[in-house]
Structures are given as structure tokens and as C-alpha cells.
Amino acid sequence: MHDWAAITAAVLDGYVLPARGTHGVVHWARVLENGLRIAEANGADREIVTLFALFHDSRRVNENRDDGHGLRGGELARSLRGELVHLGDDRFELLFEACRFHTDGGVTGDRTLLACWDADRLDLGRVGVTPDPRRLGTKAVRNLLGWAHIRAVEGHEPTEVLATWGIE
């Protein structure tokens, strides 16, 4: 069982951007809600989706282009493995791959990877970008596109998720 508040605290301990900035905790929380809805429809691993939401942008150093940030987020997850992140080897490698390739990930392949990547893409409205349905890999996401885009554009704060993570 994961201690989500402890993981969030560890992630934020080294987070150099504003916690509530463009790629911060509110974005992560929307990615989680998007991802869990996709996982419900496609059978993706909910635990990996949740960890992805916390780690995928956790080591950004720039709110704009930041090559390598997904890899750095995956490396942070690796550094917390056994202490706060409890996944077997195969599942951890899936999380690592989801983080590492989330910026340029494809639209075919493992359903958990696709759920993670689509969950993040659904939140592009926060930066003025409408997600391109051709760049979405899950069928379920097409039904969520309008709902998620409005939430992203309006800056919806998933208060229950944030509370679970220990963020007020």
C-alpha cells in the first residue's frame, strides 16, 4: 500500500517550480482523475496511473520546453523504490517507461502506458492547446475529451485528490 501524502511530500521536496504552477500539483491531480476514468474503461493498472500522475512532471526545471524531465521523474521514482514506491520489477518498469516517454509517447501499445499518456494529454487545455484526437491512444479517452478539456481550461482543482496527497 502506498502512502500518497508521503510520496507527494517527497516529490515536492525537490520540486523547483511553483507547486501550483502549470506543471504542478493541480495538473497532477487532474491527470490522476483523467487516468482513473480511462483505467476504469480500459483496465489499465490504477496504481501505476496514480504513481505516474505524481512523477511524470515532478522533475521539471522549466514550465516550457524541458527535454529529459520525464526521465528525471522516472529516476526520482526509482530512487524512492522500496522506501515509498512499492512495485514489482515489471510494473515498475512500466511506470518508468510511462514517465520517460510521456511527452512523445505513441498511440498504440500497452493499455496502462496509453492511459497514462492520454490522461496527461487530456490536460493540455491548461496551456491553451486542444488535444488532438489522433494523438490519443485509448478509445475511452474520446468520450472524456470535452469534460477533461473544460476542466483543464478552467483550472479545476480536484480537492479530494489534493487532500489525499496532503495538499491544502
User: In sequence order, what are the residues at sequence separation of 6 or more whose Cβ sits closer than 8 angstroms to the Cβ of residue 16?
Assistant: 60, 61
Class at the top of the CATH hierarchy for domain 4-164: mainly alpha
Q: Tell me: the pLDDT tens digits for 72-82?
A: 999 999 999 99
Please say if the pLDDT value at position 6 is more than 90. yes
- 157-167: per-residue pLDDT in tens? 999 999 999 99
Residue 168 reports pLDDT greater than 90 = no
> Could you tell me the pLDDT band of residue 104, with boundaries at 50, 70 and 90?
confident
Q: What is the pLDDT of residue 114?
A: 97
The rounded distance, in Å, linking the Cα atoms of 125 and 136 is 14
